[in-house]
Amino acid sequence: MKGPLYKSFYYAFNGIGETFRRERNFKIHIIFMVAVIICGIYFQIKMYEWLICFLLFALVLSLEIVNTSIEAIVDLASPDYHPLAKTAKDCSAGAVLVSAIFAAVIGLIIFIPYIL
């Protein structure tokens, strides 16, 4: 056994906190998440729509955390510029962007009927 379970949670929450402290985009995602939650409460969206929203929150935030970890690993392994390091960082950032764009589109599909 590797140690107490609570330490695993401690390290995981520390990683989330580190991402929040270091990454401006993570904070932007949190702001949009709060805005969507407020809109969802205001418009009284359906349960399945809440489930979709929370799944998308988890997807985008998780990918932002993975992106942060990839950037840290690449910076450690390749402190000087290297084209492969750039590719790794660009691809992980691209994954976040793709998820955020599709989350926004799905959010519009959910909320536009309530707005209209």
Select from 105, 107, 15 the least CA-distant residue to 61: 15
The answer to whether the beta carbons of residues 52 and 106 sit under 8 Å apart is yes
Q: What pLDDT score does 73 carry?
A: 96
* Helices 24-43, 5-22: inter-axial angle, 10-degree rounding: 100
Phi/psi of residue 4, nearest 5 degrees: -65, 145
Q: What is the percent of the chain with per-residue pLDDT over 70, rounded to a whole number?
A: 99
Torsion angle (degrees, nearest 10) of CA 29, 35, 38, 43: -110
pTM above 0.75, yes or no: yes
pLDDT tens digits for 24-77?
A: 999 999 999 999 999 999 999 999 999 999 999 999 999 999 999 999 999 999
Q: Is 27 annotated as a binding residue?
A: no
Domains of the chain in start order, with CATH, are 5-114 (1.10.287.3610)
Q: Is 64 annotated as a binding residue?
A: yes
Active site residue 64: yes
The answer to whether the beta carbons of residues 60 and 100 sit under 8 Å apart is yes
Q: Is 75 annotated as a binding residue?
A: no
Q: Is 2 helix (H, G, I), strand (E, B) or coil?
A: coil
Active-site residue among 56, 64, 68, 92?
Answer: 64
